[in-house]
A and B are shown apart, each in its own frame.
Chain A
Amino acid sequence: MIIKSVENFGFWTTQQIENVGRIFIFLFTGLFHIFTFPLQIFKIIEHTWFIGTKSMVVIMLTGIFTGMVLGLQGYYTLIKFGSEGMLGSAVALTLIRELGPVLTAIMITARAGSAMAAEIGVMRISEQIDALETMNINPVRFIFSPRIVASIISFPLLTALFDVVGVVGGYVTGSLMLGINGGIYIYRVNESVVMADITGGFLKSLVFAIVVTTVCCSQGYFTHLQTRGGFGAKGVSFSTTTAVVNSCVMILVFDYVITYLLL
């Protein structure tokens, strides 16, 4: 009984190490092939359009309502201390340092990350990835490299969009609805946000871009190796769910680590 448990634990540990190794090899192969010729410019533009441009509406919607709710909550908390004039600082710093990069990454995961995992998973089970290999086309270069470049371009830009729209959302609630002086709101935003806050937020969004794209693409790419969720369509569905859940968890873990290192 004990020997069997130890054996199972050993088997599980070996599998996890193998999985981690596989994902790292996948990541580094993809990063290496970004710079191999011919550069995949058109594919990068296509994926940037899919990951970035097509996510703009959802990011703006999430951003405006996040900013508005922060304005609302912040106002009723700050007014207790007679410091509602600080609302601009509270909204801007919360968004730029934390919520902007995190919520943007989570929304992109939900919209584009899940699509990446499902698309690549279907390519795997329908032998399209094997077909690439038989044509002497490196599948990691073909599938993953353009997507990771597109994510590295899109994540910081969408984070910036989220931050700006969120600050406007806070202005709408705080100034237009609750009567804080608009000039004071903008002055507080301008005064409290320093360059380190913005670069910190962008650094987070760059790390999230790499994490989300690697997790989602690798889940799809290695769909055929997972045995827990079934095979075929069920396997793709399991990989997609795992990609989204793992990405969200990793975003929060990396957020904590980066925040800890930056402070």
Chain B
Amino acid sequence: MKSPLIEFIDVKKSFGSNHVMQGVNLSIYEDETTVVIGKSGSGKSVLLKHIIGLMHHDSGKVLFKGEEISSMPRKKREEFKLNFSYMFQENALFDSMNIYENIALPLTETSRFSKQEIRKKVEMRMEQLEIQGTSNKYPAQLSGGMKKRVALARALITEPSIVLFDEPTTGLDPVRKNGVHAMIKSYQQMFGFTAVIVSHEIPDIFQIAQRVAMIEKGKIIFQGSAEEIMKSDLNEVSNFINGIGDFMEY
């Protein structure tokens, strides 16, 4: 049996009296696309930020290849972080830098590549993501879909083995939304990274998911394949998938 690449064991996290994670147990496997679904405010993004260390849990364990992330020595944690890229919900592009500088930033700041090597890598990624010709533009001059591609190019420039996507299709129209899903799927196959996607684009997101987890009231209430979740007889799961619920809850 495959052992998980990333594992959450009884992870709890509270912000004051708001208990966002109340004992999350989740397994993420190598080279797979895992999608985390759940209502708005259910703690999906918080869960994602725990993986990369942007947030720290109150109790429980978050393991990477069986080793607890929070107790890794500084040097090892830095090396561990090099495996990851994170694509933010609102892209988090640097608005005072042009597109080329945005994409090149992780390399110019953390690698020892020469300027020519960096230029070559950036141009290759821009070509793969079909954003050539935007090098000298600024994020504010691009459409929502183009910004997503730039964010993805920046996320992939370091050739990470794990990419975390925080609601990558927020604010996009249905055509662009499907385009982003297709893009993630094709690049996941092309570059062979492990993807963790937080989304509530149901059922579209299931087309690219190998594994789906649903978070509800601070706990993972379902983990399985896309087919399994569609057939799930758990009330919370089927109600969520079919968009049924008490709107007062939201």
Alpha-carbon distance A260/B85, docked complex (angstroms) = 53
B92/A128 in contact, CB under 8 A: yes
Contact bitstring A120-158, B, C-beta under 8 A = 1, else 0: 001100111011011111000010000000000000000
Pick the contact of B109: A119, A126, A128, A142 (CB < 8 A).
A142
B81/A134 in contact, CB under 8 A: yes
Task: Name the CB-closest residue of B to A129.
Answer: B92
Alpha-carbon distance A133/B164, docked complex (angstroms) = 14
Task: Name the CB-closest residue of A to B81.
Answer: A136
Alpha-carbon distance A135/B52, docked complex (angstroms) = 10
Say how far A36's CB is from chain B's closest CB, in angstroms: 12
**CB-CB < 8 A to B84: which residues of A?**
134
A128/B94 in contact, CB under 8 A: yes
B96/A131 in contact, CB under 8 A: no
B96/A136 in contact, CB under 8 A: no
Contact bitstring B100-113, A, C-beta under 8 A = 1, else 0: 00000110011000
Pick the contact of B92: A119, A127, A136 (CB < 8 A).
A127
Pick the contact of A127: B53, B90, B109 (CB < 8 A).
B90
Task: Name the CB-closest residue of A to B94.
Answer: A128
Q: State the majority secondary structure of interface residues on A.
A: helix
Pick the contact of B85: A122, A127, A130, A134 (CB < 8 A).
A134
Q: Is B82 an interface residue (CB 8 A)?
A: yes
**CB-CB < 8 A to B88: which residues of A?**
127, 130-131
Contact bitstring A34-63, B, C-beta under 8 A = 1, else 0: 000000000000000000000000000000
Alpha-carbon distance A126/B95, docked complex (angstroms) = 10
**CB-CB < 8 A to A136: which residues of B?**
78, 81-82, 106, 110
Alpha-carbon distance A202/B94, docked complex (angstroms) = 36
Task: Given A135-B110, A136-B110, A137-B106, verify A130-B54 contact (CB < 8 Å).
Answer: yes
Pick the contact of B105: A122, A127, A130, A135 (CB < 8 A).
A135
**CB-CB < 8 A to B81: which residues of A?**
134, 136
**CB-CB < 8 A to A137: which residues of B?**
105-106, 109-110
Contact bitstring B147-159, A, C-beta under 8 A = 1, else 0: 0000000000010
Task: Name the CB-closest residue of A to B158.
Answer: A135
**CB-CB < 8 A to A127: which residues of B?**
88-90, 92
Say how far A132's CB is from chain B's closest CB, in angstroms: 8
**CB-CB < 8 A to B95: which residues of A?**
122, 126, 128
B96/A134 in contact, CB under 8 A: no
Task: Name the CB-closest residue of A to B86.
Answer: A134
Say how far B212's CB is from chain A's closest CB, in angstroms: 24
Alpha-carbon distance A142/B54, docked complex (angstroms) = 17
Alpha-carbon distance A128/B91, docked complex (angstroms) = 9
Contact bitstring A213-226, B, C-beta under 8 A = 1, else 0: 00000000000000
Closest 9 CB pairs of A and B: A134-B86, A131-B92, A127-B92, A135-B106, A136-B81, A137-B109, A127-B88, A128-B92, A134-B52
Chain B residues in the interface with A (C-beta under 8 A)? 49, 52-54, 78, 81-82, 84-86, 88-90, 92-96, 105-106, 109-110, 158
Given contacts A127-B90, A133-B52, 6 further A-B contacts (CB under 8 A): A128-B94, A130-B54, A130-B92, A133-B53, A134-B86, A137-B106
12 intermolecular pairs with C-beta atoms under 8 Å apart: A122-B95, A127-B88, A128-B92, A128-B94, A130-B88, A131-B88, A131-B94, A135-B105, A135-B106, A136-B81, A137-B110, A142-B109
